[in-house]
Amino acid sequence: MKGTVLYGPGDVRFEERPEPKIALPTDAVIRMAVTCVCGSDLWPYRGLQPINGPTPMGHEYCGFVEEVGSAVKSVKPGDFVVGSFATSDNTCPHCQYGYQSSCVGREFMSTAQAPYLRVPLADGTLVKTPDGVPSDDLFPSLLATSDVLGTGWFAADAANVKPGSTVVVVGDGAVGLLGVLSAKQMGAERIVAMSRHEARQNLAREFGATDIVTERGAEGVTRIKEITKGIGADSVLECVGTSESMAQAIEATRPGGFVSYVGVPHGVELKGEDLFGTHVHLHGGPAPVRRFLPELISLVMNKKINPGRVFDLVLPLEQVADGYRAMDERRAIKALLRP
Amino acid sequence: MKGTVLYGPGDVRFEERPEPKIALPTDAVIRMAVTCVCGSDLWPYRGLQPINGPTPMGHEYCGFVEEVGSAVKSVKPGDFVVGSFATSDNTCPHCQYGYQSSCVGREFMSTAQAPYLRVPLADGTLVKTPDGVPSDDLFPSLLATSDVLGTGWFAADAANVKPGSTVVVVGDGAVGLLGVLSAKQMGAERIVAMSRHEARQNLAREFGATDIVTERGAEGVTRIKEITKGIGADSVLECVGTSESMAQAIEATRPGGFVSYVGVPHGVELKGEDLFGTHVHLHGGPAPVRRFLPELISLVMNKKINPGRVFDLVLPLEQVADGYRAMDERRAIKALLRP
């Protein structure tokens, strides 16, 4: 089998890799229906996150169960399944509290840009689609639930979005755009997308954004304050992970409001004294996608949402390197890969 | 009138000060029943927070309304009142959301270690005791509601303490001890006080602590993990304000748990990457005491709680310098001052 390996900045190869096998009784092996490139894959691709030698890539997946270990009970060969980028037993105390991405048995998936994938803790990690195998046209949206929608949804949930909320989304990547969709589903009244990129602004509007702010930094905060009559937003979703985006998110929030952050922070340092004065709630981390998967899959299957719209580039899996390049150059929001 | 002025590290003087007068129609002047020294007063007293020349001190107060401005409607001369260390109009959007200590008209009180005090925004700031002037023996507990209990209560509220919660309190100062009392009132099942000081341990137990942990830092975290069966606490109240105490609080919390911080942080820096991995909720800031005052006053008047127990040293106001010294040397938890 061939799979995706990052060799260094800008150097993605599709090359021979070992075929995944059942290694533990709790494993499953799945045949990929579709996979994709994540915004977080760009950090090491850009050399902004070090790697130790050639590194297999990919953590978003959905597909057909090929084989299961002897202890697996909830899925069987032929089932169509989605799983999170973080594996979970879904029974430990952290899972029970809804933080499956902090499961005591957690592993981060990392070899999913390939035609086959070993999934540890299959019973706790994989969720089967109801009513059998879905039609092909739903594959992109089902794939989206695996991470990018699950993460945008967590961003809205962690920022306490409620019916009637005023919400700001910082970041117009796929996660930010699906944060807009999530806020809309949760009943937000006003949703401000911060974006200066026309195609992304349009998708944000399609997903439910009521306002677009193109300014950034202090000017962006001033615009949010204008829009919110000087008060600040109830909920701000920080979907970038830089110092600047975090500062912008915190300053755009009203005292007592909620800031979520779901992109791995890079070089973000928060001064206790500064944070103290803002009175914001802060919550984030790796999204516990497993908590939301049944609901998100159901919303997709019932065609209530179409998160697969973030895939504006579709490539054969072997052209994965083109997908990275297009996203790096911001020519594509997100690249779907078909094995 | 004489009042308290800090001249520099360790140099507290009780000296002639101008008599407070009504300066704005929304002001009240009160005659102090009792006042006290705050843990936060020790930062400048110890030279750890710079001052610009001689600085009047004190922000905790309760007493009798002496005079009111022409616009004041809710209190009148003779009323017994308590107010927060932060003034508030109690009508602006931030106040309406329950964050009165971020009121658009906020001023921080700073001249309360004196026999008379001007209180701006009297209608929004002061809360009158029900059923007239309370008996003298309730003065210390009513004074406590003004800041130290209100802050401990906010710590428990901001850390999401609920019936059945497992709670850890970092810091055995008066705020931490009243955080224990607050957690108990909110129905916490297990309350761990971190303290290595016998008198404070005893008071923590009296207030509802079920466990005492004397270890600090990594060892303290290990003990909390043992007590919580490896999970971590649901709610951790950080009532100190140093880097060490904040790290200890965050590490003692379970993924998805809640950390509150209510002491002004000094030198605390949080790395985004580290915080991301912990999955904690973080909330704090200057306690919006005004939100809680009616309830806290009622609990005191009905003798459900006795937060005045934190005052283990009572001095005539003119001996205020001895109060600072005793607290600095940890000979006293908190010094009550009688004009």
| Model confidence pLDDT, tens digit, residues B87-120 | 999 999 999 999 999 999 999 999 999 999 999 9
A73 and A38 within one domain: yes
What pTM, to 2 d.p., does this model score?
A: 0.97
pLDDT at B264: 86
Residue A284 in contact with partner chain B when CB distance is under 8 A: yes
What ipTM describes this predicted complex?
Answer: 0.96
Helix A148-158 vs helix A289-301: angle between axes, to the nearest 10 degrees? 110
Say whether B285 and A231 touch across the interface (CB within 8 A).
Answer: no
Q: Which of 250-279 (A) contact B at CB < 8 A? A: 254-256, 261, 264-273, 275-279
Q: What is the pLDDT of residue B227?
A: 97
Whether B223 and B116 map to the same domain: the answer is no
Domain range for B199: 151-284
Same domain assignment for residues A177 and A99: no
8 Å CB contact of B98 and A254:
no
Kindly state whether residues B257 and B313 are assigned to the same domain: no
pLDDT at res. B263: 86
pLDDT at B135 over 90: yes
Residue A265 with chain B: CB contacts under 8 Å? 271-273, 275-276
Interface check B227 vs A, CB under 8 A:
no
C-alpha pair distances (Å), A254 with each of A163, A275, A277, A299, B63: 17, 12, 11, 31, 33
CA distance linking residue A81 with residue A146, whole number of Å: 10
Same-domain pairing of B182 and B318: no
Nearest to B81 by CA among B38, B124, B20: B124
Which of A259, A284, A309 finishes a domain? A284
Q: What is the pLDDT of residue A288?
A: 98
* pLDDT for the residue numbered B226: 97
Identify whether residues B66 and B187 lie together within a single domain.
no
Share of chain B above pLDDT 70, in %: 100
A45-99 pLDDT, tens per residue? Answer: 999 999 999 999 999 999 999 999 999 999 999 999 999 999 999 999 999 999 9
Give A245-297 as a DSSP string: HHHHHHHTEEEEEEEEE-SPPSS-EEEHHHHHHHT-EEEESS--HHHHHHHHH
Q: Which two tokens stand for residue B245?
A: 């105490």
Last residue of a domain, one of B265, B284, B303: B284
User: Are the C-beta atoms of residues B281 and A281 closer than 8 Å to each other?
Assistant: yes
Which residue does chain B place closest to A271, by CA atoms? Answer: B269
Residue range B52-91, pLDDT digits in tens: 999 999 999 999 999 999 999 999 999 999 999 999 999 9
A97–chain B Cβ distance below 8 A for any pair: yes
Same structural domain for residues A313 and A274?
A: no
Q: Are residues B208 and B315 in the same domain?
A: no
Same domain, yes or no: B120 and B176: no
Question: For A11, phi and psi rounded to 5 degrees?
Answer: -115, 85
Residue contact A102–B255, C-beta within 8 A: yes
Check B102 against A281: CB less than 8 A apart.
no
Q: What is the mean pLDDT of residues B290-317?
A: 98
- Chosen for mutation from A100, A283, A292 (greatest number of chain B CBs closer than 10 Å) is A283
pLDDT at A300: 98
- Report whether pLDDT(A196) > 90: yes
State the total domains in chain A: 2
d(C-alpha B183, C-alpha B152), whole Å: 9
Decide which of A242, A257, A284 is a domain's last residue: A284
pLDDT reported for residue B279: 98
Min Cα separation A282/chain B (Å): 5
pLDDT at residue A263, as a whole number: 86
Q: Which two tokens stand for residue B219?
A: 């060892």
User: What's the mean pLDDT in A295-308?
Assistant: 98
CATH number at residue A185: 3.40.50.720
List, for residues B146-195, the tens digit of each pLDDT value.
999 999 999 999 999 999 999 999 999 999 999 999 999 999 999 999 99
Cβ pair B255:A286 closer than 8 A? no
Q: DSSP string of B147-166?
A: THHHHHHHHHHHTT--TT-E
| One domain, residues A155 and A136 | no
Long-range contacts of B208-216 (CB under 8 A, 24+ apart): B208/B180, B208/B181, B208/B183, B208/B184, B209/B169, B209/B180, B213/B168, B216/B244, B216/B248
Contact state of A94 with B254 under an 8 Å Cβ cutoff = yes
Do residues A205 and A80 both lie within one domain? no
Residue type at position A114:
A
Question: Is A269's CB within 8 Å of B273's CB?
Answer: no
CA B272 to centroid of chain Cα atoms: 28
Tally of CB atoms within 10 A around A330: 12
B116 contact A CB<8A: no
- Find, among B75, B76, B106, B78, the residue nearest to B90 by Cα: B106
Strands (E), chain A: 2-8, 11-16, 28-36, 55-56, 61-68, 80-83, 116-119, 126-128, 166-170, 190-194, 211-213, 233-238, 253-261, 269-271, 281-284, 313-316, 335-338
